[in-house]
């Protein structure tokens, strides 16, 4: 039988409960690093062996929270939806691949739509690649107006740069 003060070190008894997780999140928001947080828990509980979890359990709990949050694509689509409530000219279109991942995204706002109606006789587009963490193409549709200022008509994120994506 394992002594009660060492049960927290046993794999089957190790767990970061909701109260501890709330305290960990509060400490992280205050700028404390995970090792410092673990030491604070050890001081509270009377030693490292009585904390009830190990430092790697904190890292695992943080990673689990991060993965449970919305993906970048979901957050972008939600943001565009919020913009639509304040801008009736907001437009976006997206497509998903076979694994339900964002494949292409195109958007413009009301100002861009108006600018295109005024200055859209000539269109320039710049497709940069490899500058974002997803290795997707960021395409900016723009032109220079009569005051030599850049006017953006719309933007797109493309996973595959082929002619069919632009048409």
55 Cβ neighbours under 8 A, 6+ residues apart: 34, 35, 38
| Residue 161 vs residues 35, 76, 136, 148, 158: alpha-carbon distances, Å | 45, 21, 9, 29, 6
What integer pLDDT is reported at residue 165 of this predicted model? 64
Which letter does DSSP use for residue 4 in this model? Answer: G
Local confidence pLDDT in tens for the 167 residues of the chain: 555 555 555 655 678 888 999 999 999 999 999 999 999 999 998 888 888 888 999 999 998 887 776 677 888 888 899 998 999 999 999 988 877 788 889 999 999 889 888 887 777 777 776 667 777 888 888 888 888 888 888 988 888 777 666 65
Each residue's pLDDT tens digit, 89-124: 999 999 888 777 888 899 999 998 898 888 877 777
In whole angstroms, give the CA distance from residue 65 to residue 67: 5
Distance CA 145, CA 148 (A): 5
């Amino acid at each position: 039988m394992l002594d009660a003060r060492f049960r927290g070190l046993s794999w089957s008894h190790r767990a970061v409960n909701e109260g501890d997780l709330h305290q960990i999140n509060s400490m992280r928001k205050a700028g404390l690093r995970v090792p410092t947080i673990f030491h604070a828990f050890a001081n509270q509980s009377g030693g490292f062996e009585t904390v009830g979890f190990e430092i790697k359990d904190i890292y695992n709990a943080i990673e689990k929270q991060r993965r449970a949050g919305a993906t970048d694509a979901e957050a972008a689509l939600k943001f565009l939806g919020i913009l639509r409530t304040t801008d009736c000219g907001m437009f976006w279109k997206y497509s998903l691949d076979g694994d339900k991942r964002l494949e292409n995204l195109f958007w413009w706002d009301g100002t861009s739509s108006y600018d295109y109606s005024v200055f859209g006789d000539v269109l320039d587009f710049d497709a940069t690649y490899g500058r974002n963490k997803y290795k997707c193409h960021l395409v900016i549709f723009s032109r220079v107006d009569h005051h030599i200022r850049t006017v953006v008509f719309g933007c797109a994120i493309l996973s595959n740069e082929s002619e069919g994506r632009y048409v």
